[in-house]
Amino acid sequence: MIKLRSAAPFRPGAVTQFRAPKRTRLELVCEALESRQLLSTTATSTPDLSRIEAQQNLEILPLVASGPTGYTPQQIQSAYGINQIKFSGGTVAGNGAGQTIAIVDAYNDPNIQADLTKFDSRFGLSAPPSFKVDNLGASTTNAGWALEESLDVEWAHVVAPEANIVLVEASSASLSSLFSAVSSASKLPGVSVVSMSWGTTEFWGESAYDNLFDTRRAYWR
C-alpha cells in the first residue's frame, strides 16, 4: 500500500489568495500487507465415485450384560406412538400393511435371514409378510456392514411390522455402487419407501446426484 504524505500542512484561505507551498516534500511510505491466496474459479473434474466409500452410521459398543440391552421393540413402539398410528378416520392401522420397504446397504450378509428370525423370536414379533434379498453382485462380507444390515432390517420391521421388506445389497461401499443400488431399489415393484443409513464427506458436484433421492421420481416413471 502506498501513502502520500505532505510535509507542508494545508491552510485554507480565500480562493483568490490561495498559493501552494513553494517547497512540498512527498514521502513514499510502503507498508507490507499480509499474504493473500486467490481461490481458483476453475472447476475441478468430476470425482471418481468408485473411489469414494460410504460409511455405515453405527457405533459398536462392548456388551456389559449377557442378555439384550437397550429398549425393546414394544417400548419403542409405545414411546413414539407407532402402535397408535391410524389412517382413514381410524379404520386403517398404520402398520405398513400393503407397503414395501427397500433397504440399501453394502456387501453381502449371509446371515440376515437367520438374524431377523432370531430377533423376531426373541421379542415375540411375527415375521414380515415377505422378506427378500436383492444382491447386486455383492460377493464379500464386511462385519460392520453386516451389523448395519441387521440393524436396518430388524428395526424397519419394528416400525412397520406388516410391511414387506427388500434388502438391496450393493456390490461394495463405493458411492457408485450404492447410488446404483438406490436407483435399483426405487424401481422395484411395489416399493414405496427406500431406507438407508450411511453417508460420506461432501465433494464437488454432489448436487448432480440429488435426483437419485427425489421422491417425485416415483411418479415420473
Residue 205 lies in a domain: yes
For residue 167, give its domain range: 51-57+71-220
Residue 33, SS3 per DSSP? coil
Predicted pLDDT at 2? 46
* Count of all residues that appear for the chain in the document: 221
Has residue 157 been placed in a domain? yes
Chain centroid, CA 74 distance in Å = 28
SS3 35: coil
Nearest CA among 214, 198, 195, 202 for reference residue 107: 198
Tell me the per-residue pLDDT of 106-119, one tens digit each, with 9 for 90 and over: 999 999 999 999 99
Q: Residue 14 falls within a domain, yes or no?
A: no
Does 23 reside within a domain?
no
Domain count, the chain: 1
List per-block mean pLDDT (blocks of 10 residues) for the chain, which spans 221 residues.
Answer: 50 53 58 56 65 74 62 95 92 94 96 97 97 96 94 96 98 93 92 90 86 62 41
Is residue 17, in this structure, part of any structural domain at all? no
Per-residue burial over 147-159, b if 16 or more Cβ lie within 10 Å, else e, is ebbbbbbbebbbb
| CATH number of the domain within which 187 lies | 3.40.50.200
Per-residue confidence (pLDDT) for residue 210, from 0 to 100: 85
Which residue in 155, 138, 144, 166 sits closest to 71, CA to CA? 155
Supply 166's cell numbers: 427388500
* pTM (2 d.p.): 0.71
Nearest-angstrom CA–CA distance, 141 and 156: 21
Q: Which pLDDT score is estimated for 22? A: 60
Query: Would you say 201 and 47 are in contact if contact means Cβ atoms under 8 Å apart?
Result: no
Domain-located, residue 97: yes
Task: Determine, yes or no, domain membership for 156.
Answer: yes
Helices (H), 73-111: 73-79
Q: Is residue 127 part of a domain?
A: yes
**Beta partners for 29?**
3
